[in-house]
């Protein structure tokens, strides 16, 4: 899944945390180690699902968790930029997204096309068309419109099937910042707060999108599962939490939440349990529809309980945030984007080489896709995101355009070669 980066914590806070051996504490508007760890939970659900582990049929809801996190982080970044500078620099925003997301996605796309050419040449034309849709960020619409009723989520259908969720997030990234700008203009014109104005917009998006999900899921379940209009409410739910976060912090700091602070750890563990157990029963219901409310709201609760100052010292020690902020969990969350990209192509290659059964496929996802994700994180993700060579709006956008052209060109070449 395409995962937005959490804001970077101040160097002094990170240094102090390393020196004390404790995970860095969350700060207002800053780095959230628990959110980084929560991405690992989402990834784990997806890996179990695609490996076919018994009882994990609903593990596909890991993308629901990713959507909530994306809405929360991106909205927080945009609103804080407006509050700090008075505006949103759209070119800078899209350049950051391009540097963060596109290089790794296209690298995996190229490897997947090459692997398909060697192991399954008969699928090369179809995979090339899937790659073209993936490179253009419309993979969800290609899959959903091709068969609106039957969902084909496994690697046997396409080694690029999982790019649908990246397309949903990219479409959100494309449309959400202009909506923030409209909310800024409305707030200035009416003399109201930006957060209130944007909350009204996000709330409207959530209501309309959820209604679409409920109505269309029983009619065209595959299209409802894959389309951005029926998924936008999950991103909007994260956005609403981001808008409410400062108010939660104020209430906690003012002592208004003291009567409930003791229950915060229990709420966090309960929310995590709901997310994990939802993977058991959602595999047997038409999804998303109203059923997606359960894991989505549980994810919102999981992020909310990590609000700085919400839990007291004892609650912080006993809360779920301590598990999510554990270094190995956070590392898996940090690598979750590349891991998500690699897990389906690796499963596809394994099946083509004769491997079958969930233990073998899960081993591939852990011990082949995992190291590939670590390598991609170090060699591709981090350099393109942090190198001064690609800094700035112009260079970032140019990089995004070049990488997209490479993905489109390779996909078209695959189609032509196979024709």
Give the domain extent around 156.
26-418
Q: What is the pLDDT of residues 141-192, one digit of tens each?
A: 999 998 888 777 666 678 999 999 999 999 999 999 999 999 988 888 888 8
As given in the structure block, the two tokens for residue 270 are 């309960």
Contact (Cβ atoms closer than 8 angstroms) between residue 49 and residue 220: no
As given in the structure block, the two tokens for residue 385 are 């995101």
Name residues whose C-beta falls within 8 Å of residue 1's C-beta, 6 or more positions apart in sequence: 39, 42, 43, 46, 62, 63, 66, 70, 165, 166, 169, 336, 337, 340
Reference 169, options 362, 3, 51; nearest CA is 3
Mean local confidence (pLDDT), 206-221: 96
Q: How confident is the model at residue 4 (pLDDT cuts 50, 70, 90)?
A: very low
**Cα–Cα dist 148/159, whole Å:** 19
Single pTM value for the model = 0.90
**Cα–Cα dist 34/330, whole Å:** 8
Question: How many residues can be counted in the chain?
Answer: 419
- Cα torsion angle, 28, 30, 33, 36, sign: positive
- Cα torsion angle, 274, 276, 280, 283, sign: positive
Give the chain's radius of gyration (CA, Å). Answer: 21
Give per-residue burial for 376-407: e unless 16+ CB within 10 Å, then b.
bbeebbeebbeeeebeebebbbebbeebbebb
- Residue 223's pLDDT is 94
- Cα torsion angle, 228, 230, 146, 61, sign: positive
Give me the chain's average pLDDT, please. 88
Higher-confidence residue of 272 and 31: namely 272
**Residue 16 predicted with pLDDT over 60:** no
Alpha-carbon distance values, 218 to 32, 297, 353 (Å): 37, 21, 37
Q: What is the pLDDT of residues 395-419, one digit of tens each?
A: 999 999 999 999 999 999 999 999 8
- Residue 154's pLDDT is 64
Asked if the structure places residue 235 within a domain, the reply is: yes
As given in the structure block, the two tokens for residue 51 are 């490996």
Q: How confident is the model at residue 319 (pLDDT cuts 50, 70, 90)?
A: confident
Alpha-carbon distance values, 229 to 130, 206, 207, 210, 239 (Å): 21, 10, 11, 9, 16
**Residue 86 predicted with pLDDT over 90:** no
Other Cβ atoms within 10 Å of 284 Cβ, number: 10
Asked if the structure places residue 12 within a domain, the reply is: no
With 0-12 / 13-18 / 19 or more C-beta atoms within 10 angstroms meaning exposed / middle / buried, residue 228 is buried
As given in the structure block, the two tokens for residue 146 are 């091709």
Mean local confidence (pLDDT), 227-233: 96
Task: Give 204's Cβ-side CA count (13 Å radius).
Answer: 7
3-state secondary structure string across 289-319: HHHHHHHHHHHHHHHHCCCCCCCCHHHHHHC
- Residue 243's pLDDT is 95
Asked if the structure places residue 21 within a domain, the reply is: no
**Cα–Cα dist 396/406, whole Å:** 15
- Cα torsion angle, 14, 379, 110, 409, sign: positive
Asked if the structure places residue 8 within a domain, the reply is: no
- List the single range of 212-216, 231-235, 251-255 with lowest mean pLDDT: 251-255
How many structural domains does the chain have? 1
- Cα torsion angle, 385, 387, 393, 397, sign: negative
Asked if the structure places residue 15 within a domain, the reply is: no
Q: What is the pLDDT of residues 337-396, one digit of tens each?
A: 999 999 999 999 999 999 999 999 999 999 999 999 999 999 999 999 988 888 889 999
**Cα–Cα dist 206/379, whole Å:** 37
Asked if the structure places residue 4 within a domain, the reply is: no
Alpha-carbon distance values, 416 to 159, 302, 406 (Å): 19, 47, 15
Q: What is the pLDDT of residues 293-302, one digit of tens each?
A: 999 999 999 9
As given in the structure block, the two tokens for residue 148 are 């609106």
Asked if the structure places residue 6 within a domain, the reply is: no
- Residue 40's pLDDT is 97
Asked if the structure places residue 18 within a domain, the reply is: no
**Residue 217 predicted with pLDDT over 70:** yes
**Residue 11 predicted with pLDDT over 60:** no
**Cα–Cα dist 244/234, whole Å:** 16
Contact (Cβ atoms closer than 8 angstroms) between residue 106 and residue 403: yes
């Amino acid at each position: 899944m395409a995962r937005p980066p959490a804001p970077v914590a101040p160097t002094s806070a990170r240094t102090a945390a390393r020196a004390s051996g404790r995970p860095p504490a969350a700060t207002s508007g800053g780095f959230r180690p628990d959110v980084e760890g929560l991405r690992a939970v989402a990834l784990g659900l997806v890996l179990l699902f695609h490996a076919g582990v018994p009882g994990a049929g609903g593990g596909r809801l890991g993308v629901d968790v990713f959507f909530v996190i994306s809405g929360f982080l991106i909205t927080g970044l945009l609103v804080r930029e407006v509050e700090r500078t008075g505006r949103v620099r759209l070119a800078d925003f899209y350049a950051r997204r391009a540097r963060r997301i596109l290089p790794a996605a296209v690298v995996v796309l190229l490897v997947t096309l090459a692997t398909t050419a060697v192991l399954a040449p008969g699928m090369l034309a179809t995979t090339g068309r899937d790659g073209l849709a993936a490179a253009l960020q419309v993979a969800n619409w290609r899959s959903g419109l091709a068969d609106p009723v039957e969902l084909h989520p496994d690697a046997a259908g396409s080694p690029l099937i999982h790019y649908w969720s990246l397309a949903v997030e990219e479409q959100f990234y494309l449309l959400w910042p202009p909506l923030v700008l409209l909310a800024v203009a409305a707030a200035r014109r009416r003399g109201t707060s930006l957060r209130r104005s944007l909350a009204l917009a996000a709330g409207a998006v959530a209501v309309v999108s959820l209604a679409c999900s409920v109505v269309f899921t029983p009619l065209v379940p595959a299209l409802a599962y894959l389309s951005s209009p029926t998924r936008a409410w999950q991103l909007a739910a994260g956005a609403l939490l981001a808008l409410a976060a400062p108010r939660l912090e104020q209430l906690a700091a003012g002592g208004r939440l003291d009567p409930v602070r003791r229950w915060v750890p229990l709420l966090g563990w309960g929310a995590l349990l709901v997310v994990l157990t939802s993977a058991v029963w959602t595999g047997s219901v038409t999804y998303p529809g109203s059923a997606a409310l359960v894991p989505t709201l549980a994810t919102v609760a999981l992020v909310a309980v990590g609000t700085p100052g919400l839990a007291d010292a004892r609650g912080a020690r006993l809360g779920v945030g301590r598990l999510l902020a554990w270094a190995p969990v956070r590392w898996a969350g940090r690598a979750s984007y590349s891991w998500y990209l690699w897990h389906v192509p690796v499963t596809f290659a394994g099946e083509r080489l004769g491997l079958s059964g969930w233990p073998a496929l899960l081993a591939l996802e852990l011990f082949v896709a995992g190291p590939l994700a670590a390598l991609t994180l170090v060699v591709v993700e981090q350099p393109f995101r942090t190198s001064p060579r690609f800094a700035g709006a112009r260079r970032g956008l140019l990089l995004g355009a070049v990488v997209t052209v490479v993905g489109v060109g390779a996909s078209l070449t695959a189609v032509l070669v196979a024709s």
